[in-house]
Chain A
Amino acid sequence: MHTITRAVLVGLLSALAAAPAAAETVKIGFITTLSGPQGAIGEHMKSSVELALDHLGRKIGGLDVEIVYGDDQVKPDVGKQLADEMLKKHRVHFVAGVIWSNVMLAVAPTVTGAGTFMIGTNAGPHELAGKMCHELFFTTSWQNDQTPEAMGKYMQDQNLTDVYAMAPNYAAGKDMISGFKRYFKNKVVGEVFTKLGQQDYQAEISQLRAANPKAVFVFYPGGMGIQFLKQYEQAGLRGQIPLYSVYTVDEISLPAVKGAALGQFETRYWSPDLKNEANQKYVADFRKKYGKAPVFYGAQSYDGIMLIDSAVRAVKGDLTNKKGMIAAMRQADYKSTRGPYKYNVNHFPIQNFYLLKAVQAADGEFAMQIQKTVFENYKDSYAAECPMKW
């Protein structure tokens, strides 16, 4: 009796232990922000991941897929805990996502240090593009400095001068202004750093008007951007002093500001009106499934899943073949929503950057529209510091 039970138990256990190897499932941990005011971004990313899986028939590289979402609450420590949980408890093969650079700097080394792939789909801190680059780290977004660099280049090309620059007083705000000034060499008449999360800009706008600049450059992500744009318009400056920005107007904030953003210039690597097959399919199906316009955060996340799919496909589902998957990802052999691109040595895309303008379409909806290409096949400024060779 006893021995029989034991034999059955041993048999059961060995069957259980063998099970995962028999029917392999790709496990992906996706970290983003799903609660609080910034939860709107995470919602777009999650929706795009789900859409990518729909397009792939709920398979990654032909294998079944299991996806675990984590809410980082915009906190680096929470992000790191989520990564640990995904690695140890869920035993994921890929960790993807991450909106915030400070969260990314905590998550990426944890994941790559454990020998697992990290696929960034937003944050691009310069550390990870330079000295801290890693063979298991890829991103489908951009390096932080590139977007303001493109705006600086455009404004320099227009030979604008007497520019007034504003940003929140924290790491990314300072990076944005210094990235902007790397290419903009004409006169900057004022440089103002406001408190992070500030609501009211009326005092700064009064100072701005008194300084009488010819153009304004700002970086105000999220709710700060909505407030700044409304107040800039209410101060009557919209028609008087042209406003150029990065990460301030996008498809999440446009419905909340509508006309207050009209005529606004932004630079970006992607836009819903980019004419390529993958993008048109993504934009149309996103609108159909979720009833709203997608945003670049979503396009990058969609690309992230497609990149993972291309790698798993290339190694024919052998998830232990990491070298093979690294080689496959370096080819960026998938249909990206930005069109075809190549990876730089640091695993950051070499891609175009465009000038976008907020316009009102015929149907009354406000949208970002591509005006021209500012940078073609643009590399980030930190790749030279990356010791990786391939």
Chain B
Amino acid sequence: MNAALVLEQTLNGLQYGVMLFLMAAGLTLVFGIMNLVNLAHGSLYMVGAYLATAFAHWTGSFFLGAVLALPATLLVGVGVEVIALRTLYERDHLDQVLATFGLILFFNELIAILWGRAAIYTSVPPLLGGHLRVLPGVPYPTYRAAIIVVGVAVAILLWVLVTRTRLGMLIRAGASNRTMVGALGVNIRLLDTLVFGLGAALAGLAGLIAGPIYSVQPGMGEEILIQVFVVIVIGGIGSIRGAVVGAVVVGMVDTLGRAFLKPVLSTVVSAPAADKAGPALASMLIYLLMAAVLFFRPEGLFPARGRS
């Protein structure tokens, strides 16, 4: 275990955290403001990946495809909110889980009908295809470095949006007291739709980024969704700051655990025991962390202000 490897794994952890953050930001905003448990958030991620692939194929450029896919996913999100989810805000969480689970099935089958069940081909754009030399002997894929840059930029933009604009003020107000915001004459319905569309676009962004490195196929959203829920539980539901911290913590713990838990364990216990326990423990690590957070701070690390 040398310093270069540790640095490389830290970058890997950060990059994974950024992907989780893009998903978690939308999910946590929707939960915070509309009190809606949206299991179909992963479907929007999948829609983003498919639309970006289709547009990239159509225009011949990854970047044009990305630019077109973002507003398209936003529109899909707005459509889902207006048609299906609007009636669910007042309902019980269990009803919401059932309904949004139905949406998952709907989207998976729709994608299978439109594009087939087999995974489709996407590749890294040539411009981002190479490697950066972070340190001598530590090549790092340019595409993954670009993901980190995009993620940090989105986090800063969201921070500006939430803390420095009128829309952000309404979002924060909606998260702490929805009824009061409505009573003050704000069109809360429109705010809901806007926030949901924003969340959908962020999920779509995560999906289109994920396309070239993961497998673009029906059901791809559910594979990442569970980790995203872990992120918002750790970070505190409804809080962007919590989503940032939660995502980076989960990304780091998961990556470093997978990389170094086995070698570290083998210095404590025998090598065969470490071989057995290492992978099992590494895959449990983020859930253990979540359990610990729930025990010591049930509301998460950075709960949205005003929620109890």
Query: Residues on A close to B: CB < 8 A?
Result: 35-37, 39-40, 43, 169, 191-195, 197, 199-200, 202-204, 206-207, 210, 223-224, 226-227, 230-231, 234-236, 252-253, 255-260
Cβ distance A275 to chain B, nearest Cβ, rounded Å = 27
Q: Which stretch, B115-123, B158-166, B174-182, touches the partner chain A?
A: B115-123
Q: Can you report 25 A-B residue pairs in the complex whose CB atoms are below 8 A from each other?
A: A39-B218, A169-B283, A193-B279, A195-B279, A195-B282, A197-B223, A199-B210, A199-B215, A200-B214, A202-B12, A202-B16, A202-B144, A203-B12, A203-B255, A204-B259, A206-B9, A206-B259, A223-B223, A230-B215, A234-B144, A235-B141, A236-B139, A253-B119, A255-B121, A256-B215
231-253 of chain B: CB within 8 A of chain A = none
Residues of chain A with a CB closer than 8 A to B275's CB: 191
Contact between B124 and A234, CB atoms less than 8 A apart: yes
Bound form: Cα–Cα A223–B214 in Å: 8
Bound form: Cα–Cα A329–B228 in Å: 52
Residues of chain B with a CB closer than 8 A to A36's CB: 108, 218-219
Cβ distance A259 to chain B, nearest Cβ, rounded Å = 8
Contact between B119 and A256, CB atoms less than 8 A apart: yes
Contact between B223 and A203, CB atoms less than 8 A apart: no
Query: Residues on B close to A: CB < 8 A?
Result: 2, 5, 8-9, 12-13, 15-16, 108-109, 112, 116-121, 123-124, 129, 131, 139, 141, 143-144, 210, 212-220, 223-224, 255-256, 258-259, 275, 279-280, 282-283
Contact between A43 and B12, CB atoms less than 8 A apart: no
Residues of chain B with a CB closer than 8 A to A253's CB: 119
Residues of chain A with a CB closer than 8 A to B116's CB: 40
Residues of chain B with a CB closer than 8 A to A230's CB: 123, 212-215
Bound form: Cα–Cα A40–B216 in Å: 13
Report the 10 A-B pairs with minimum CB-CB distance, sorted nearest first: A226-B215, A256-B119, A40-B118, A223-B215, A40-B117, A195-B283, A37-B219, A39-B117, A193-B279, A203-B255
Partner of A37, one of B121, B217, B282: B217
Which residue of A has the minimal Cβ distance to B139? A236
Bound form: Cα–Cα A206–B11 in Å: 11
Residues of chain B with a CB closer than 8 A to A35's CB: 108-109
Bound form: Cα–Cα A4–B109 in Å: 54
Contact between B16 and A255, CB atoms less than 8 A apart: no
Partner of B279, one of A192, A206, A256: A192
Residues of chain A with a CB closer than 8 A to B282's CB: 195
Contact between B118 and A207, CB atoms less than 8 A apart: no
Cβ distance B81 to chain A, nearest Cβ, rounded Å = 26
Bound form: Cα–Cα A139–B74 in Å: 49
Residues of chain A with a CB closer than 8 A to B117's CB: 37, 39-40, 43
Residues of chain B with a CB closer than 8 A to A207's CB: 5, 259
Residues of chain B with a CB closer than 8 A to A252's CB: 118-119
Contact between B141 and A234, CB atoms less than 8 A apart: yes
Residues of chain B with a CB closer than 8 A to A191's CB: 275
Known A-B contacts A37-B220, A226-B215, A230-B212; A255 and B258 likewise in contact (beta carbons under 8 Å): no
Bound form: Cα–Cα A199–B124 in Å: 16
Bound form: Cα–Cα A193–B5 in Å: 19
Contact between A226 and B213, CB atoms less than 8 A apart: no
